Amino acid sequence: MAVVKDAGDRLARYNAWILGAAAALAGANASVVIATSGLVGRALTGEMKLATIPVLTFVLGTAASTFPAAFSMRRFGRRNGFAGGALFGVLAGLIGAAAIVHGSFPLFCLATFSAGAYQAFVVQYRFAAADTATPAYRPRAIALTLGGGVASAFVGTKLVNFTQDLWLPHVFAATYLAQAAVAAIAFFVLLALRAPSAQERPKGNGRPIGEILADGRLAAAMLLGMISQGVMNLIMTSTPLAMVGCGLPVTTATVAIQWHIVGMYAPSFITGHLISRFGILRIGLVGCAIFLLCGLVAEAGISVLHFEVALFLLGVGWNFAFLSATAAVTSVTRPEERAKVQATNDFVVFGGTAFAAYFSGVLLDLFGWAGIAAAAFPAALLGVILIFASRRAHRLALA
């Protein structure tokens, strides 16, 4: 049994590295959208409250594509599904460049929607890493895959800084062409994935989704994922607009986003170990505490350093809370139920995040950066409540 376990973990480790590399490349997709779409949206519409609509369509694209992505991979396999998903990233970059050149806001929203469809496949990399792992190695496989996002902090932001002015007067048009090229590279990387064959994949559909969601542990984990993703998106989306509004140059905003992405993914190299040692619930509570620190730093000032430290802490808090939520979802799911549970989870997470993406621009327009930063406090409180609710549900399940 030990030999089989080791072989399974070797395969899981290999797949985690492939998925981590693909995540690093896919990070350019999300980084480009987050760092530029608010600025492009404001330039195309002239309205602050409409500026974050492209981020909203990005999140809606993710939410709307979660079920098609999950079931396409169940039908065609992880490798083919993920590689096909990368083509949405290529399409997003090409449409985005065309929208900027022609000054079309609706076309640009279509581009970010397509980028969101690509993201729907990317966010399932973490579940794919868990598929071939033993239960003991599963948190580490998930964390290693998310760790690939560290490189995306530099791929995405450097891409923006080096390409934003290459096609003047169409600022950021070349950035989206470059993003399409990076997504094309990710397509070929994903072809190296060693996913289970159709014969090896679990058979049957498992329990009805309503019965599965009746498990309080799963419901709490999904909601914790939604809150951590939502507050992260709310604050991150507003940051470039807030920094430029404070008189800071665009380059400082992209650096702040870079530090945010480092905070999101760098801890992944140890988060899996921490979850294995201290448990899912304790690490989730640490994430909520870090959200509080983020809010305090963001409220303390509007210098470049304040933005950078707050965004870094936001990323670290997200890592601990979101990875804990993901590990909790995988721990209570049967193999034959993975596709529908993972799709439902991501629909809940990103459906809720869509509201945060929209209200980000509205809140910034109404209350300024202080109002955005204050959102970290209720999010942390709700996260704590959900974690204790999950603990209670776990005790009832064992009773």
Q: How many structural domains comprise the chain?
A: 1
In a domain, 202, yes or no: no
In a domain, 160, yes or no: yes
**Range of 367's domain?**
2-194+207-398
In a domain, 392, yes or no: yes
In a domain, 199, yes or no: no
In a domain, 354, yes or no: yes
Closest CA to 11 of 152, 147, 192, 143: 192
Is-contact 266 147, C-beta < 8 A?
yes
pLDDT of residue 201: 52
| CB atoms inside a 10 Å sphere around CB 46 | 9
Residue with tokens 């072809």: 191
Is-contact 313 263, C-beta < 8 A?
yes
The model's pLDDT over 214-248, given as tens digits with 9 standing for 90+, comes to: 777 778 888 888 899 889 988 988 888 889 888 88
For residue 336 the two structure tokens come to 């034959």
Is-contact 155 31, C-beta < 8 A?
yes
CATH number, residue 90:
1.20.1250.20
The model's pLDDT over 105-132, given as tens digits with 9 standing for 90+, comes to: 999 999 999 999 999 898 888 777 777 6
In a domain, 100, yes or no: yes
In a domain, 178, yes or no: yes
The model's pLDDT over 351-398, given as tens digits with 9 standing for 90+, comes to: 777 777 777 777 888 888 999 999 899 989 988 998 888 777 666 554
Distance CA 320, CA 147 (A): 12
In a domain, 201, yes or no: no
Per-residue pLDDT band for 101 (boundaries 50, 70, 90) equals: very high
